[in-house]
């Protein structure tokens, strides 16, 4: 009877239906949509393969969800039976019955949650499948509406120009004069782009900067893996220098899912050409094709849609002259070089300084700065703050916020025995909040562990060491080509199998980090080799609960270690779980 009276305390509020009203007025503007209609998928040569890939992924997800629902229903029946047995047994105390009711209710809530996701995926699958089935044997139609307008003085060409001027307004080329005129218009987000009376001689182009090094889309020498990371969407492009020391420059463009490389070499007349006009410099060539959205290769229809620019440019607030940094004592070593405690002289603030070894290749230097590149975009209390970078001379520096307590692993071993349960709980929450922020920004850490979390004097924990971090691709994953850096005992099974990372592999690592926290710095899978740990995990083994770990926290560890990544919670869900645990512990203390 007591269970019935207090059941309302543990019920989660029902999820209310939410109606969304989408702004579809753009569909009626043919200059933007080029004949697209609402509630209809556009299947053409630009979207066909992506839709097929999306369909395959959804089918796989649906299969996993259906399997998950079946498993959870069995779990629900078992929990219900256990609850009824406890209600019939008057010897069970109230707290045990409350815990059992809590578990039973949570399983049922999870079932409804998965069903909701399943219904959504099934609707998506139906829409995509029907759209693909409408494509005949000749394949998807060509999306030719990206062809840009061609200015002409010939009035007889007006009809031809109108037919080809179908690029959306916000993508069409506009001259410098037109842009200046448009800035004087009160409602400048509705700029007219009628070029029907324009001629080539009337258009005023800005003089391109001749130095490639000053062009934001020029990346110097970079490796192929970095190119793949930078180019994410069709039309993304960079210009780079070949790594063979030949001095040859290459235009790399992502188009229809694959990266195309164009050697940029001057002809006998010293001019550069892709398709159409020739230009006296690479800057002028790229600027012309990028601003006009003109096709650079007629056989493929490739267009330079978006320049991927370097993060750290001269004049950037994050660029710090090396002479403004004074190194103090050495704090440790890293993959690229040593780490020091230092002072930023101009602001008189203490900081941590990561250094890159001297006399290394340009590729290594760029890899070193990639960590800072990712950190530059992150602003969160539980993520280590980037102060700046020094790259005016060797060795390169990355300047970071200083955390006086050092790394969490060392702190747990040193001060852990004196920590209260609430202190361990708060540290766990700090890491979850930082990782939820990275999850929201689609950043995969890939090396989450207690050793890579830093602690301030106030015992706030911050995520650090982004040396292995990467941004997710369109499928939410990142695949590496080598296993030499993989910290196996912190890695999810899918990393061992196919070296694929996702935010759910970070969740697995978070479970191991929780184990480190509550075991006060104990090595995971103590005494086992990587091979032994892998074999046991694949066989279903999971580490036991560390001493004095709250059962709810250990249950969360187990959820993080689910073999199927789909079954693992997201970091935003982990935060909610922690909040429920906090509330549950408070209620338990209240009922004592």
Dist CA 503 CA 565 (whole Å)? 9
Q: How far apart are CA 26 and CA 37, in angstroms?
A: 10
Q: Phi, psi (5° rounding) for residue 461?
A: -105, 135
CB-count burial class (<10 Å; 0-12, 13-18, 19+) for 38: exposed
* Cβ contact 24:38 at 8 Å: yes
d(CA 278, CA 27): 38
Among residues 234, 236, 430, 447, which one is catalytic? 447
The enclosing H or E element of 558 equals: helix 551-560
- Residue (of 375, 377, 388, 429) closest to 572 by Cα position: 429
Tokens representing residue 378 in the block: 């992150």
Task: Specify the DSSP element, H or E, that contains 461.
Answer: strand 461-463
Q: Which residues of 533-562 are buried (b: 16+ CB within 10 A; e: fewer)?
A: bbeebeeeebbebbeebbebbbebbebbbb
For residue 63, what are the contacts with CB-CB under 8 A and spacing of at least 6?
none
Active site residue 447: yes
Peptide bond into 395 cis (omega under 30): yes
How many C-beta neighbours within 10 Å does residue 127 have? 15
Tokens of 395: 């060795």
Rg (CA), the chain: 29
Q: What DSSP letter does each residue of 250-286 carry, written as one string? A: EEEEEETTEEEEEEE---TTS-EESSS-EESSHHHHH
Gap between the Cα atoms of 134 and 558, Å rounded: 45
What residues are annotated to the active site? 447
């Amino acid at each position: 009877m007591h269970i019935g009276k207090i059941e309302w305390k543990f019920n989660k509020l029902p999820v209310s239906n939410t109606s969304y009203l989408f702004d579809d007025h753009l569909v009626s503007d043919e200059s933007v949509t080029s004949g697209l209609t609402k509630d209809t998928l556009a299947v053409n040569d630009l979207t066909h393969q992506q839709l097929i890939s999306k369909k395959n992924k959804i089918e796989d997800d649906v299969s996993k969800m259906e399997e998950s629902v079946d498993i959870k229903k069995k779990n629900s029946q078992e929990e219900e039976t256990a609850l009824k047995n406890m209600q019939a047994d008057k010897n069970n105390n109230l707290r045990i019955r409350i815990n059992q009711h809590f578990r039973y209710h949570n399983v049922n809530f999870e079932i409804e949650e998965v069903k909701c996701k399943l219904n959504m995926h099934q609707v998506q699958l139906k829409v995509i499948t029907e759209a693909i089935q409408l494509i005949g044997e000749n394949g998807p139609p060509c999306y030719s509406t990206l062809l840009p307008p061609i200015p002409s003085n010939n009035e007889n060409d007006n009809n031809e120009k109108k037919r080809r001027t179908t690029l959306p307004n916000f993508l069409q080329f506009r001259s410098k004069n037109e842009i200046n005129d448009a800035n004087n218009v009160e409602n400048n987000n509705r700029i007219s782009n009628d070029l029907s009376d324009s001629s080539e001689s009337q258009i005023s182009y800005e003089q391109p900067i001749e130095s490639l090094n000053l062009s934001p889309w020029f990346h110097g020498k970079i490796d192929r893996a970095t190119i793949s990371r930078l180019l994410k969407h069709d039309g993304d492009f960079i210009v780079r220098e070949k790594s063979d020391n030949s001095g040859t420059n290459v235009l790399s463009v992502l188009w229809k899912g694959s990266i195309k490389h164009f050697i940029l070499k001057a002809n006998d007349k010293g001019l550069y050409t892709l398709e159409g006009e020739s230009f006296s410099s690479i800057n002028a060539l790229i600027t012309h094709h990028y601003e006009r959205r003109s096709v650079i290769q007629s056989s493929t229809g490739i267009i330079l849609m978006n320049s991927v620019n370097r993060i750290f440019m001269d004049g950037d607030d994050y660029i710090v002259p090396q002479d403004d940094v004074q190194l103090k004592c050495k704090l440790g070593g890293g993959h690229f070089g040593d780490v020091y405690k230092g002072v930023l002289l101009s602001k008189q603030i203490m900081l941590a300084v990561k250094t890159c070894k001297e006399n290394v290749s340009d590729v290594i230097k760029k890899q070193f700065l990639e960590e800072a590149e990712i950190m530059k975009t992150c602003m969160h209390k539980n993520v280590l703050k980037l102060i700046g970078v020094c790259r005016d001379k060797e060795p390169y520096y990355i300047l970071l916020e200083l955390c006086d307590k050092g790394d969490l692993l060392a702190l747990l071993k040193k001060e852990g025995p004196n920590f209260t349960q609430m202190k361990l709980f708060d540290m766990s929450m700090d890491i979850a909040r930082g990782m939820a922020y990275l999850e929201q920004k689609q950043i995969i850490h890939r090396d989450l562990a207690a050793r890579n979390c830093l602690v301030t004097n106030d015992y706030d924990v911050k995520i650090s060491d982004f040396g292995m971090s990467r941004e997710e691709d369109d499928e939410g994953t990142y695949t590496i080509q080598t296993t030499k850096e993989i910290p196996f005992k912190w890695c999810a099974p899918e990393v061992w199998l196919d070296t694929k990372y996702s935010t759910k592999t970070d969740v697995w690592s978070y479970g191991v980090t929780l184990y480190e926290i509550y075991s006060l710095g104990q090595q995971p899978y103590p005494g086992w080799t990587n091979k032994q740990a892998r074999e046991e995990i694949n066989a279903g083994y999971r580490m036991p609960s560390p001493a004095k770990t709250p059962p709810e926290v250990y249950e969360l560890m187990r959820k993080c270690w689910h073999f199927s990544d789909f079954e693992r919670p997201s970091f935003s869900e982990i935060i909610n779980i922690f909040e429920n645990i906090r509330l549950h512990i408070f209620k338990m203390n209240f009922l004592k």
